[in-house]
Chain A
Amino acid sequence: MSRAALLVLADGRFPAGGHAHSGGAEEAVKAGRVTGAASLEDFCRGRLNTSGLVAASLAAAAALGVDPAALDAAADARTPSPALRVAARRLGRQLMRAARATWPHPELDALARRFPKGAHQPVVLGLAARAAGLGPQDAAYCSAYEGISGPASATVRLLSLDPFDATGVLARLAPDVDRVALRAAEAAGRAVTEGVDALPAASAPLLELGAEAHAGWPVRLFAS
């Protein structure tokens, strides 16, 4: 399979529902913790090294063929916020639809049957990468990158941030994305023999707090 499949999967226009989610940025903007490019960068770096690392590891493990149901349970345990679990499953279901249409594969069909209302998005992402003939590190890169590109593009809309500044933030985070993707792929390799406990569990208290606060707003632009 072609490595260029990674570009298709990682494309922000891949129709898998990500555009309606801010990755916590909407709450952080409203609370005044993200006010411009510098604080956006700090936000994205923190997210990348916590929930981003966890997601990338789950995706890499799924791409390696680790049991997706065990990975889904591991994702639940690493996501205390019910609002974030709901968002992850909704996005997983949307990604599943796009992935099955794009790279039909019996393992995707099996996961869709096992979780008709959606498995955690990183698990589906890893399996989609596998269906596309990509490897664990590809899956980790894709997951890690979308974990910061989502908040960045949401912040462009929320703060009318200069899009060149937002893109600059993503470029400056590239070395961090490299490190996270590498760590994630290594952890996924250990998970093959040691089980899902070997996957990172890094968490960000304010993302958990913020997600629940955001879910309670009567009026909001983004789904999460």
Chain B
Amino acid sequence: MRADTAPRGRTGTVGGAGLRATARVEARADGRGGTALPVLDGEGPLALRRTRTRSGGPAARVTLVGAMSGPLGGDHLTVEATAHEGARLHIDSAAATLALPGQGGEAARYDVRISVAEGAELRWLPEQLISVRDSDLRLSTRVELAAGARLVLREEQVLGRAGEAPGRLSSRLTVCRAGSPLLDQELAFGPGAPGGWDGPAVLAGHRAVGQLVVVRPEYERSGPVAAPLGKWAVLTPLAGPAVLVTAVAPDALRVRRTLDAALRDLA
């Protein structure tokens, strides 16, 4: 299995059973109204490309290019993204991330560490994370925001490829603002997850889940009010200048449509 899915490009540090790789990107205001990228380091399966922004505005756009499928069981991948004061950094990915089983049956770890300074904006809009049958992935996303930082962050979890049973997936999303917790939530699905995950309180058979977090200092004065977005999504103002949109659906496409519509409405 590993041989099929691990091409020659697996060049990260191989330690223990799996591979360790870290990608880093740092963005700085270039002083001319734009954003420079003094650090843009990919490693192993985590390749980073500076891409053209859709709007051509002052932001720098970086695309995470999947050099391979993964992570596999036992791997430990880390992405670190920092937007320094006044910078605007948009990060997306070229393709969905597939959590795949490893040889030894160990879990894979994927850590995302985001830091946004005063007056900076970071948009983290990757493609979906798909939990493939028999895989086991622990995703941890931690965002540290300065009080005047802006954030748009989307995460989507898909339980299995089309018609496939899911692997085990846990995904913790922590957003701190000025050192205080703003959002902290963990989703845990699939075989071996604590009981009831597919029941009427948690997923009720839905196979795709998505979160969209928008943090804007101006919400401190006035922000959106709580509102159901159709039957299977909701916009909730957090206890701080931020909103969370939560969506569930039978498939990834419908979750994406809901989150895209919500993002347009918030813009």
Contact = CB atoms under 8 A, between A and B. Distances in A.
Q: Do chains A and B touch in the complex (CB under 8 A)?
A: yes
Interface of A: 24, 28, 33-34, 39, 42-50, 53, 73-74, 76-83, 85, 176, 196-197, 200-209, 212-213, 215-216
Nearest to B248: A205
B166 to A, nearest CB: 15
A50 B244 contact: no
Given A33-B200, A209-B234, A201 B172 contact: yes
B195 A49 contact: yes
Contact of B239 (A85, A176, A202, A204): A85
A46 B201 contact: yes
B194 interface: yes
Contacts of A28: 200-201
Nearest to A49: B194
Contacts of B57: none
A13 B180 CA distance: 36
Contact of B184 (A44, A201, A215): A201
Nearest to A207: B201
A47 B201 contact: yes
A206 B233 CA distance: 9
B201 A74 contact: no
Contacts of A79: 239
Contacts of B236: 80-82, 208, 212
B239 to A, nearest CB: 4
B36 interface: no
Given A43-B196, A49-B195, A77 B202 contact: no
Interface residues of B, number: 36
A212 B200 contact: no
Q: Looking at A33, A42, A49, A77, which has the most chain B CB atoms within 10 Å of its CB?
A: A77
Contacts of A83: 226
A85 B181 CA distance: 15
B239 A208 contact: no
A216 B186 CA distance: 26
Contacts of A24: 201
B174 interface: yes
A47 B196 contact: yes
Q: Is chain B's binding surface mostly helix, strand, loop or mixed?
A: strand
3 pairs of A and B residues whose beta carbons are closest in the complex: A46-B196, A42-B199, A33-B200
A176 B208 CA distance: 26
Given A39-B199, A46-B201, A83-B226, A209 B248 contact: yes
A73 B180 contact: yes
A46 B202 contact: yes
B222 interface: no
Given A33-B204, A49-B197, A201-B186, 11 more contacts: A34-B200, A46-B197, A46-B202, A48-B196, A74-B181, A77-B181, A77-B239, A81-B226, A81-B236, A196-B181, A197-B184
B185 interface: yes
Given A80-B183, A83-B226, A209-B233, A50 B201 contact: yes
Contacts of A78: 184-185
A84 B234 CA distance: 13
B187 interface: yes
B184 A212 contact: no
B107 to A, nearest CB: 17
A169 to B, nearest CB: 12
A197 B174 contact: yes
A205 B202 contact: yes
A176 B199 CA distance: 15
Interface string B172-183: 101100001111
A209 B181 contact: no
14 contacts: A24-B201, A42-B196, A43-B200, A44-B196, A45-B201, A46-B195, A46-B201, A48-B196, A50-B201, A80-B246, A201-B172, A209-B228, A209-B233, A209-B234
